Amino acid sequence: MNSTFNLYAKYYDLLYKDKDYERESEYIIKLIDKFRPDSETILDLGSGTGRHDLILAEKGYDVTGIEISEIMSKEAERNKKNIRSDRKVKFVNGDIRNTRLHEKFDIVISLFHVMSYQISNKDLTKTFATAESHLKDDGIFIFDFWYGPAVLTERPESRVKYLENEEIKIERHAEPFLKINENTVDVKYTVKIEEKTEGKNNEITEIHSMRYFFIPELKLILNQLNMGIMHFEEWMTGNKLSDESWYALVIAGKRS
Ligand SMILES: C[S@@+](CC[C@H](N)C(=O)[O-])C[C@H]1O[C@@H](n2cnc3c(N)ncnc32)[C@H](O)[C@@H]1O
């Protein structure tokens, strides 16, 4: 996992430069205002280059991110320098399956399919336990993931993405392999990178295994950790989950 993401990190912000982190952060804030108003502190599991976190800090929250990739964490630290906020922002280089900060938060978030990267029951349970142990008793845990009914209905398809900035040109092919009995999709990425100034070409191949989830299995694991699902919906639209909702969002809380 670490080395995959270390390679990936270099190109991550370019690959996702069009991803609307501002709108996504506003969506998360709306959910916070509805389900846990007056929240001030957020822990982000799998914070990547910190793009949600910096926006959330600018909107008035103290934010801590935990990220396994050293390169992504360093990039987050670099991005932090441009922040227009005096809220506390901290990035910790660590594994969300076992990091313990000995601090409780109003909100734990985990966004952009971080949970779907936890492909074994053990990893998922450990990550949920990390969320639980950092939540205040009335705190909420918000996460998104690939939604099983839609993945099996629509089926993953091959895709190509082209991107360019002043320094590099990228062509990324994504080829999915559905592992029907494991509830996972292995996405093979072939990334061709042209370094424009030096005229050098590189090619990176990597496989990201993504797990899709169903609500009852999430309930089962969360219940074992004394948590429960308070709400679920389609990511960003807020629509009811259906077999057309590839991305789902769950809000969980501790059971009293
Ligand atoms: C698709 S990225 C999302 C990053 C960020 N949340 C965002 O929205 O840009 C998934 C992230 O999860 C991180 N990740 C996956 N498993 C992890 C683990 N066990 N511990 C910490 N970070 C992890 C990866 O390193 C990667 O940065």
| HEC letters along the chain | CHHHHHHHHHHHHHHCCCCCHHHHHHHHHHHHHHHCCCCCEEEEECCCCCHHHHHHHHCCCEEEEEECCHHHHHHHHHHHCCCCCCCCEEEEECCCCCCCCCCCEEEEEECCCCHHHCCCHHHHHHHHHHHHHHEEEEEEEEEEEEEHHHHHHHCCCCEEEEEECCCEEEEEEEEEEEECCCCEEEEEEEEEEEECCCCEEEEEEEEEEEEEECHHHHHHHHHHCCEEEEEEEECCCCCCCCCCCCEEEEEEEECC
Higher pLDDT, 199 or 40: 40
Size (the chain), residues: 256
Residue 11's pLDDT is what? 74
Q: How far is the CA of 52 from the centre of ligand 1 (A)?
A: 12
Among the ranges given (15-19, 68-72, 219-223), the one the predictor scored with the smallest mean pLDDT: 15-19
Closest ligand 1 atom number to CA of residue 72: 27
Residue 212's pLDDT is what? 98
Is a pLDDT exceeding 70 seen at residue 5?
A: no
Domain boundary assignment for the chain: 2-146+213-254, 150-211
Q: What backbone phi and psi angles, to 5 degrees, belong to 61?
A: -105, 150
Q: How far is the CA of 1 from the centre of ligand 1 (A)?
A: 9
Q: How far is the CA of 68 from the centre of ligand 1 (A)?
A: 7
Q: How far is the CA of 157 from the centre of ligand 1 (A)?
A: 23
Among the ranges given (59-73, 122-136, 187-201, 237-251), the one the predictor scored with the smallest mean pLDDT: 187-201
Kindly indicate the confidence band of residue 155, based on its pLDDT and cuts at 50, 70 and 90. Answer: very high
What is the pLDDT averaged over residues 116-140?
A: 98
CA-proximal residue: ligand 1, atom 26 (nearest):
48
CA 14 to chain centre: 17
Residue 10's pLDDT is what? 61
d(CA 251, CA 206) in angstroms, rounded, equals 31
d(CA 199, CA 67) in angstroms, rounded, equals 33
Residues whose beta carbon lies within 6 Å of some atom of ligand 1:
1, 5, 46-48, 51-52, 66-69, 72, 95-97, 111-114, 117
Q: What backbone phi and psi angles, to 5 degrees, belong to 13?
A: -65, -30
**Percent of the chain clearing pLDDT 70 (strictly above):** 96
Residue 8's pLDDT is what? 59
CA-proximal residue: ligand 1, atom 24 (nearest):
46
- pTM (2 d.p.): 0.94
Up-side HSE of residue 39: CA atoms within 13 Å toward CB? 31
For domain 2-146+213-254, the CATH class is: alpha beta
Residue 6's pLDDT is what? 46
Closest ligand 1 atom number to CA of residue 51: 9
pLDDT tens for 53-112 read 999 999 999 999 999 999 889 989 999 998 888 999 999 999 999 999 999 999 999 999
Name the pairing type of β-strands 41-45 and 159-164.
unpaired
Residue 3's pLDDT is what? 44
Determine the CATH number of domain 150-211.
2.20.25.110
Answer whether 229's CB lies under 8 Å from 252's CB: yes
Average pLDDT, the chain: 93
Q: How far is the CA of 198 from the centre of ligand 1 (A)?
A: 31
Among the ranges given (91-105, 114-128, 138-152, 191-205), the one the predictor scored with the smallest mean pLDDT: 191-205
CA-proximal residue: ligand 1, atom 12 (nearest):
46
Which among 100, 117, 143 is the best mutation to test ligand 1's pocket, defined by most ligand atoms within 8 Å of the CB?
A: 117
